[in-house]
Amino acid sequence: MKLEGVELRRVAMPLVAPFRSASGVETTRDVLLLRVVTDQAEGWGECVAMAGPHYSSEYAEAAASVVRRFLIPAVAATPRLDAYAVAAALAPVKGHRMAKAALETAVLDAELRAEGRSFARELGAVRARVPCGVSIGILSSIGELIDAVGGYLDAGYLRIKLKIAPGWDVEPVRAVRERFGADVLLQVDANAAYAPADARQLARLDPYDLLLIEQPLAEDDLLGHAELAKRITTPVCLDESITSARTAATAIALGACAVVNVKPGRVGGYLEARRVHDVCAAHGLPVWCGGELETGLGRAANVALAALPGFTLPGDISASDRYFATDLTAPFVLEDGHLPVPAGPGLGVEPLAGVLDEVTTATEWLPL
């Protein structure tokens, strides 16, 4: 393909309710979208960087800057452009995996649309629909939490994830278990809010038969996670620590995790996410697909990824109405706890022009 230009588009997507984790509170999703135009087709990519550098060192404004100044020129200089050439072209730029993932996704979407192939087929999906879990942020009271969990179970979600932090951990987990019983698939996510000295407190979660505890310690503390895994019986899942297939292999070798949360934006794109999946599958570790408050564009790609054979646990791939009153694409609707895998060319979804215009806060066209 020949790259003709890239549009940078910022959109503001109001959330149906504030989402609070140990990293902070989100009320509106500030999203950077990339539209790649080639001589064969157009493609879309969604950058999952948040508005500020609190969950990650990346944030939307910085992502836009690095895409504009460094990533697009590097891709434009690639003699034979396809999605598999993007990572190599961008390798001289250190870090900025979320920005790189957005550009690679847009190129891959354009390539697949031109060839009439779907994201799911390209990645190696084996299922036509995927099981869905839901992530519940830190709420103001146990009563509010119980109401929220009950509502999501009634809606059909197959797994519940509770955000936890020091001061909000054992009691909410106990309350949910006591109210809804042992049959509910339940896990917790700490977003690196704990220290190794908190092992005894985290061990108090063991009696509640959790699927896993996600990223309890700092992202660079693989040895700390390996030691914690010896002191608790709840399986340790790594999220922020997994930045590539290589770091996944290292974490597994150290015994730092028994489960991996695969987030394409965090590892630099869907092609690297597939490699993470392959490494974990080779070692017999289950994986699941994490969510980062994506619009329908990012959600479509995540659903395709979650249909790979190693994704044996329900992911954070909720229906559109979990976060947005109106999505950028035709809404993803939960059916018997599952979402269908898009089968059309590329991502298999298109932005709704009227909605896109309504939520757009800025656009920039960069011709080549």
Q: For residue 303, what are its two tokens?
A: 């659903």
Active site residue 161: no
Residue 163 designated active-site: yes
Confidence label for 27 from pLDDT (cuts 50, 70 and 90): confident
Residue 314: name the closest of 323, 322, 303 by CA: 303
- pLDDT value at 32 more than 80: yes
Q: Which residues pair with 238 in a beta bridge?
A: 260
User: So what's the pLDDT on residue 19?
Assistant: 79
- Residues 232 and 171: their CA atoms lie apart, in Å, by 18
Per the DSSP assignment, residues forming a β-bridge with 289 are: 262
Query: Concatenated DSSP letters for 188-206?
Result: EE-TT---GGGHHHHHTTG
**What average pLDDT does range 26-43 have in this prediction?**
95
pLDDT digits (tens, 9 = 90+) for 106-137: 999 999 999 999 999 999 999 999 999 999 99
pLDDT for 69-99, tens place per residue? Answer: 999 999 999 989 999 999 999 999 999 999 9
pLDDT band of 21, cuts 50, 70, 90: confident
Burial of 197 (0-12, 13-18, 19+ CB in 10 A): exposed
Query: Contact, 43 vs 26, CB < 8 A?
Result: no
pLDDT at res. 71? 98
Domains of the chain: 3-116+352-367 (3.30.390.10), 121-340 (3.20.20.120)
Q: What is the pLDDT of residues 131-163, one digit of tens each?
A: 999 999 999 999 999 999 999 999 999 999 999
Taking the CA atoms of residue 321, residue 325, residue 331 and residue 336 in that order, the dihedral angle to the nearest 10 degrees is 20
pLDDT digits 0-9 by tens, 291-304: 999 999 999 999 99
- The H or E element spanning position 189 is strand 185-189
3-class DSSP assignment, residue 9: strand
Among 352, 340, 244, 364, residue whose Cα is nearest residue 297: 352
pLDDT, the chain, mean: 96
CB environment 234-254: b (16+ within 10 A), e (fewer): bbbbbbbbbbbbebbbebbee
Which candidate in 94, 100, 163, 230 is catalytic? 163
Question: What are 367's strand-pairing partners?
Answer: 5
Per-residue model confidence (pLDDT) at position 17:
83
**For position 125, what pLDDT does the model report?**
98
Nearest-angstrom CA–CA distance, 200 and 197: 8
Q: How far is residue 249 from each of residues 189, 236, 243, 279, 281, measured CA to CA in Å?
A: 22, 15, 11, 7, 11
For helices 170-180 and 142-155, give the axis angle rounded to 10 degrees: 50
pLDDT above 80: residue 24: no
How does pLDDT run across 235-277, given as a tens digit for each residue? 999 999 999 999 999 999 999 999 999 999 999 999 999 999 9
Mean pLDDT of 310-329: 95
- Indicate whether 333 pLDDT > 90: yes
Strand partners of residue 7: 35, 365
The 10s digit of each residue's pLDDT in 182-202 is 999 999 999 999 999 999 999
> pLDDT at position 25, please?
79
